[in-house]
Structure 1
Amino acid sequence: MIGTASAERILLLSTVAREGSMTAAAESAGYSVSAISQQIRKLELEAGVPLLQRHSRGIFLTDAGRAVVEHAERIQGQMKSLQHSLDDIIGLRSGTLRMGTFPTAGSSLLPAAISGFRKAHPFVELTVRSFRKVPLLNMLTNRDISMSLLWEYPWSRIDHPNLDLVHLMDDPTDLVVSHNHPMAERESVSVSELVDEVWVIRAEKHPVMEAIIRASNKVGFEPKVAYEANDYQEAQAMVAVGLGVALVPRLALSVQRSDVKVIPLTGIVPRRRIMLARLADGVPNPAELAMVKMLIEAAQDLSSAGQPRS
């Protein structure tokens, strides 16, 4: 019976058929004639039927031998096709990349990285899922995505033993006020000056509320909340009409309304750490490595850009 151990012998038979003689096959395959002859005999015993007819005029394939060689040639073709596919993946001429992001990174940091990635590797299939932190962590664990952008604050680190984390950048927290607010023309504002302000915050116990409380506690005041927004564009709109002021991570201000002012804060102000996470037990493929490089470059460009637009 022919089994997996017979693969090398099958390829030798195919070489004999292609070269037309044991001698030519031996030269082509780097074997001695006697070694090839012994391997063919073993293959015939495994097959239970003669595969070669030996005559004074040479050797010829039997019907069984032709069947074996036909299968061998198909296998060789499939192996070549497989190697071409692997070469394409390694060379980023093919392949897939499934990654995740959170909304504010998806509107600021990620587009620059994707733009560079698509230009350099147009044939890699890229898909991105945008969610909040917990769903992203679940998708990583379930291997629905292979890597994801995440964020953390000093009091709320990403504590996941199965993740490898790369710190891409720090995201400062800025003050957003309406264009006619008394502080609108200031170049910077200290947290201690915000004691009497009314606040627009993110809803559903968003971590920015925790940032406000922690910053506030440094100077002994609790924020008075006038509005809980579902996203930062909504928060900007409420700030614009004078309902309150807001603390906003700088990456969330990539689309800034013309009727608000963004002012850097001084003092002890929380910063988000922007992280790239992937499962620690996997070896990154070429597409992942390329995207990591693009994200690092995009983060460096954003960090070096400095102050927000006023």
Structure 2
Amino acid sequence: MQTQQLRYFLEVAKTKNITIAARNLYISQPSLSQQIINLEKELEIPLLIRHSKSVALTDAGEQFALHAMRIINSMEQLSELMQRHNLLEEGTLRIGMLFIGGYVNLFQILKDYRLHYPGMDYRLTIDGSAALLNQLLNRSIHASFLIGSENQLKAHEELYYQKVMDDYYVAAISTQNPLSRRELLTIEDLRGESIIMPAPSSAFRRRLDQLFARAGFEPRILCETSQTDLVSQLTQQNFGIGFFSCTIARALQSRDLAVVPLEQTLYRTIYYATLKELLDYPSIRSFTEFVKDYPLSHL
């Protein structure tokens, strides 16, 4: 049974005349008659009572017409729904977002995109880079912003990625600490200071550990956290020295919190990543192109 046969039968049921129905359908009368006969053979029951100049529906034909109409209407609604998905008027976009997204204006990208496509349903998963990458690879989110390196992302052949922004780390120090008046800080300057270290799972933590190891001493660790607000509060209260990216530090700098560059520049890159297999899907393709063309001056 084909959709076209349902439409043909419904036209016959409406006009009660095969000749008129054929003319309305722009097909020949013999062809339409054969289509109805084939349908009846397939169903193994007569749908029409044929008269010399008209037709009537059998009881089965009336039931068939009723359900055929429902099927056609449902298919048209389904086609319209898929078209709305294609036009980005419907659908769900699942985006992974970093904890620091607000500080580095990543939320602004999503806000500006939503202005173009307000009918979409937006779902955010907020987490650290490692967790977001795993969720992306596990197909539980469609795309993500994350901190990483090109070598790390290149190792996953199924990923498409592009750089969003570069940044570098600075030390966050209470203005009560004399080190806050330095123009630059070395790792040796941190000897004996209480240090608020990033979480062990962070890429920056591993780089810091390497710097302390090269300097020949272990830092005096106050706590381990990558929660920006907590690091900010602890440093302002002079509990220890923490680390932020320069972008975040500028947003948090206050009379109680000084920002001092590190002599050893440690860069951080934020990437946007999605799966190559999703790039043909309208919403992912559209959002990916939007991120690619987004002006860096807005970040």
Q: 2:189 is matched with which residue?
A: 196
Structure 1 segments of 4 or more deviating over 6 A? none
- What does 1:1-310 correspond to in 2, within 5 Å? 5-105=1-101, 107-153=103-149, 159-182=155-178, 184=180, 189=184, 193-197=186-190, 198=193, 199-204=195-200, 206-213=202-209, 224-230=219-225, 231-253=227-249, 255-258=251-254, 259-265=256-262, 269-296=265-292, 300-301=296-297
TM-fit CA distance, 1:64: 1.9
User: Is 2:278–2:284's contact at 8 Å kept on the other side of the alignment?
Assistant: no
TM-fit CA distance, 1:78: 0.4
User: Is 1:170–1:273's contact at 8 Å kept on the other side of the alignment?
Assistant: yes
TM-score normalized by structure 2?
0.82
Cα-Cα RMSD: 3.0
After superposition, the Cα gap between the structure-2 partners of 1:26 and 1:152, relative to the gap in structure 1 and judged at 3 Å, is same
Task: Provide structure 2 residue ranges, at least 5 long, that are not aligned to the other structure.
Answer: none
CA distance in 2, matches of 1:155, 1:44: 64
CA distance in 2, matches of 1:9, 1:81: 19
Amino acid at match of 1:141: L
Which secondary structure state, in structure 1, belongs to the residue aligned with residue 24 of structure 2? Answer: helix
TM-fit CA distance, 1:293: 4.5
Amino acid at match of 1:24: I
CA distance in 1, matches of 2:115, 2:99: 23
After superposition, the Cα gap between the structure-2 partners of 1:108 and 1:176, relative to the gap in structure 1 and judged at 3 Å, is same
Task: Provide structure 1 residue ranges, at least 5 long, that are not aligned to the other structure.
Answer: 304-310
Deviation digits for residues 24-55 of structure 1 (CA, Å, limit 9, x no counterpart): 22222221111111111111211222222222
TM-score normalized by structure 1?
0.80
Aligned residues: 294
CA distance in 2, matches of 1:291, 1:261: 37
